[in-house]
Amino acid sequence: MIRQYELVERVRAYDPTADEDLLNRAYVFSMKAHGSQMRASGDPYFSHPLEVAGILTQMKLDTASIVTALLHDTVEDTVATLADIERLFGHDIMRLVDGVTKLSRIELQSDQTKQAENFRKLVLAMSEDIRVLLVKLADRLHNMRTLHYLNNPEKRKRIARETLEIYAPLAERIGIQRMKDELEDLAFSELNPDARDSILMRLAHLRTEGTGVVDRVMAELRDILDKNGLGAASVSGREKTPYSIWRKMHLKNVTFEQLSDIMAFRIMVDDSDECYQVLGIIHGRYHVVPGRFKDYISTPKPNGYRSLHTTVMGPERQRVEVQIRTRDMHEISELGVAAHWAYKSTQPVTLDSLQYRWLRELLDILEHAQKPEEFLEHTKMELFQDQVFCFTPKGDLIALPRGATPVDFAYAVHSAVGDTCVGAKINSRMLPLRTQLQNGDQVEILTSKAQTPSATWLELAVTGKARARIRRFIRLQQRTQYIDLGKALLQKLFRQEGYDFSDKAVDGVIKIFQAATSEDLYASLGAGLVSGREVFNAVFPGHRQQATSLQTVDEKIAAQNKARAKAKGLDSPLPIRGLFGGLAVHFARCCHPLPGDRIVGIVTTGKGVTIHTIDCETLDSFNDTPERWIDVAWEADAETAEIHVGRLAVILANEPGSLGTLSTVIGKNGGNITNLKITSRSRDLFEMLIDIDVKDVKHLTNIMAALRATPVINSVDRARSR
Output the CA–CA distances (angstroms, integers) from residue 2 to 9, 54, 136, 473, in the order listed.
Answer: 11, 8, 20, 54
Beta carbons of 241 and 181 less than 8 angstroms apart: yes
Is residue 424 exposed (0-12), middle (13-18) or buried (19+ Cβ within 10 Å)? buried
CA neighbor of 383 nearest in space, from 272, 495, 278, 303: 303
Establish whether 382 is a catalytic residue. Answer: no
φ, ψ (nearest 5 deg) of residue 321: -90, 130
Beta carbons of 501 and 511 less than 8 angstroms apart: no
Beta carbons of 61 and 343 less than 8 angstroms apart: yes
CA neighbor of 247 nearest in space, from 404, 384, 154, 119: 384
- CA distance linking residue 132 with residue 123, whole number of Å: 10
CB atoms within 10 A of CB 48: 23
Establish whether 128 is a catalytic residue. Answer: no
- CA distance linking residue 658 with residue 713, whole number of Å: 8
CB environment 95-108: b (16+ within 10 A), e (fewer): bbbbbbbbbbeebe
For helices 112-128 and 357-368, give the axis angle rounded to 10 degrees: 130
Percentage helix, strand, coil for the chain under 3-state DSSP, each rounded to 5: 55, 15, 30
Beta carbons of 423 and 446 less than 8 angstroms apart: yes
The secondary structure of residue 38, as a DSSP letter, is B
Residue in 76, 98, 373, 520 annotated catalytic: 76
- CA distance linking residue 521 with residue 248, whole number of Å: 51
Beta carbons of 50 and 70 less than 8 angstroms apart: yes
The secondary structure of residue 43, as a DSSP letter, is S
Bridging pattern class, strands 576-577 and 633-634: antiparallel
DSSP-assigned letters across all residues of 527-596: HTSS-HHHHHHHH-GGGGGGHHHHHHHHHHHHHHHHHHHHHTT-SS--SEESPPTT--EEE-TTT---BT
Q: Which residues contact 505 (CB under 8 A, 6 or more apart)?
A: 539
Residue in 20, 77, 84, 364 annotated catalytic: 77
Output the CA–CA distances (angstroms, integers) from residue 261 to 255, 287, 318, 400, in the order listed.
Answer: 13, 16, 10, 25
- CA distance linking residue 539 with residue 547, whole number of Å: 15
Annotated active-site positions, please? 76-77
